[in-house]
Amino acid sequence: MSNQMTITFPDDWHIHLRDNDALKTTVPHAAQSFKRVIVMPNTTPPVKNRQDAEAYYARIQKHIPEGSDFQPLMTLYLTPDTTPEIIEDAKASGIVHAVKLYPAGVTTNSTAGVSSLKNLYPVFEKMAEVGLPLLIHGEASDPEIDIFDRELTFIEQELKPLHAAIPTLRIVLEHITTKDAVEFVLGANDNVGATLTPQHLLFNRNSLLSGGIKPHLYCLPILKREIHRQALIKAATSGNPKFFIGTDSAPHAQSAKESSCGCAGCYSALTAISHYAEAFERMNALDKLEAFLGHYGADFYGLPRNTETITLVREDWTPPDSYPYLENEHLIPLGAKQVLKWKVK
C-alpha cells in the first residue's frame, strides 16, 4: 500500500465562508485546501442577485492570500421573489455559477428561502436554458416531519416532481445523508449529481448522540443511521461521477455550538481532505479519491479540471484544538483532538 499520493488539486463544491470579519479566517483556510469553492449564499442578508454577488465576491477577494490563485465561485440564494431576469443577469456576470434552494426554515439563515417550488418553475426553466445548476438543501420544511425523515420526504414531495417536470435542469442534491438520496440520484438522468460531506461519510447518529451529545458533529441534514452512512460511502467510492466532494464546511463560533441551542454545522475546511482520504481508505478505494476530490465536480459544472496537484502522505497528525475566529471566538475543526491518518504535504 502506498504511503504517498499525488492527486489533482481539489475543489470544494459546497462551502460557507460567512461575511465581513469572518472572511479573514475562512478565506485563507479555504484557499489552503482548495483551488475553487462554490460559496454558499446564506449570509445575512443573503446574496439575492448579481449586485449582491459582485459585492460579496469583492469582499472575499480582499482576503485571498498573496500569490494564491484561489477562486470563489459565487451562488445566488433563491427566494420567492427571484425572477427569470435575475437569473439571466446573474449568468451574464460570469461570476455566478449556481443558484441555491433552501426550503424556508430548514437550516441556518434559511428564513428567506422558498416554501412553494411550483411558483418558481419559470425561474427553473430559465436556469435550465442558461445553464445554471440548482443546488438543493433537500429537506422538507414542515416542522411536523420527523427530523430523520426530512430528506426522504423532500425527495418524494418536491424533488421527483421537479426533475420530472424539467429534466434539463442540472441539479446538485447537496450534502446527501440517506440511501434514499443515493437511490434517487442513481435513478435520475445525468443532469443530477450529489455532494457528500466528510462527516456524513465517517459518522452516524450514534457518533452524535451516544455516550454524550457531540455539538461539533451536529449539522443539517442531521447524521443518520449506519445503513445510510454505508450507502453514502459506497456511492462516494463507486467511481460514479454523479457523486463528488462538497464539504459543507460551516463556521460557527465555539460558543454558538456549545450552547443550550447549538448551531448546525461542522467546520472542516482544513481537515476535510484528510477525512475523505481516511473514509476512502477504509473502503480500500484510495484509487477513487482523486476523481471524487478533483475531477467529477469540475466536470459537472462544465469547468476545466485543475492542473496543479497536492501530495497526501500517510502520517498521523492531530489538528489544532481550535482556530482563532472573529473577536475572542474560536472555531473547533472537525477532527479536533483526533488522530488523522493522512496529511496534506
Helix (H), strand (E), coil (C) string for 300-325 = HHCCCCCCCEEEEEEEEECCCCCEEE
What whole-number distance in Å separates Cα of residue 205 and Cα of residue 335? 16
Among 41, 138, 265, 297, binds ligand DOR (CB under 6 A): 265
Q: Hey, what's the cell of 299?
A: 466536470
Site for ligand DOR, residues 17 to 56, rule: CB under 6 A: 42
Number of residues forming the site for ligand DOR (CB under 6 A): 10
- Give rounded-to-5 percent helix, strand, coil for the chain: 35, 20, 45
What whole-number distance in Å separates Cα of residue 186 and Cα of residue 190? 9
The answer to whether 155 and 141 have CB atoms below 8 angstroms apart is no
Interface region with Zn ion, contact rule CB under 5 A, candidates 52-60, 87-95, 157-165, 244-252: 244-252
Among 8, 43, 49, 108, binds ligand DOR (CB under 6 A): 108
The answer to whether 223 and 217 have CB atoms below 8 angstroms apart is yes
Residue 195: how many other CB atoms lie within 10 Å: 24
Among 250, 270, 279, 312, binds ligand DOR (CB under 6 A): 250
When asked if residue 107 is in the footprint of ligand DOR (CB under 6 A), the reply is yes
What whole-number distance in Å separates Cα of residue 39 and Cα of residue 14? 6
According to DSSP H, which parts of the chain are helical?
Answer: 23-33, 50-61, 84-93, 121-130, 150-154, 160-165, 179-187, 198-202, 205-209, 226-236, 254-257, 272-282, 289-294, 296-301
When asked if residue 193 is in the footprint of ligand DOR (CB under 6 A), the reply is no
Number of residues forming the site for Zn ion (CB under 5 A): 1
Contact pattern for ligand DOR over residues 131 through 160, marking x by CB under 6 A: ------x-----------------------
Is 248 designated active site?
yes
User: 171 is in the binding site of which of Zn ion, ligand DOR, none (Cβ under 5 to 8 A by kind)?
Assistant: none
What whole-number distance in Å separates Cα of residue 62 and Cα of residue 40? 18
Site for ligand DOR, residues 163 to 192, rule: CB under 6 A: none
Among 7, 220, 286, 289, binds ligand DOR (CB under 6 A): 220
The answer to whether 33 and 270 have CB atoms below 8 angstroms apart is yes
Among 14, 16, 97, 228, binds ligand DOR (CB under 6 A): 16
When asked if residue 248 is in the footprint of Zn ion (CB under 5 A), the reply is yes
Render 265-303 in DSSP notation, one character per residue: --B-TTTHHHHHHHHHHHTT-GGGHHHHHHTHHHHHHT-
Catalytic residue among 180, 248, 287, 316: 248
Interface region with Zn ion, contact rule CB under 5 A, candidates 51-59, 213-221, 246-254, 327-335: 246-254
User: 247 is in the binding site of which of ligand DOR, Zn ion, none (Cβ under 5 to 8 A by kind)?
Assistant: none
Interface region with Zn ion, contact rule CB under 5 A, candidates 3-11, 68-76, 181-189, 242-250: 242-250
User: 141 is in the binding site of which of ligand DOR, Zn ion, none (Cβ under 5 to 8 A by kind)?
Assistant: none
How far apart are CB 150 and ligand DOR at their closest, in Å? Answer: 11
Our CB check for ligand DOR shows the closer of 208 and 279 to be: 208
Give the residue numbers marked as catalytic: 248
Q: Which residues bind Zn ion (CB under 5 A)?
A: 248
Binding residues (CB under 6 A) for ligand DOR: these are: 16, 42, 107-108, 137, 219-220, 250, 264-265
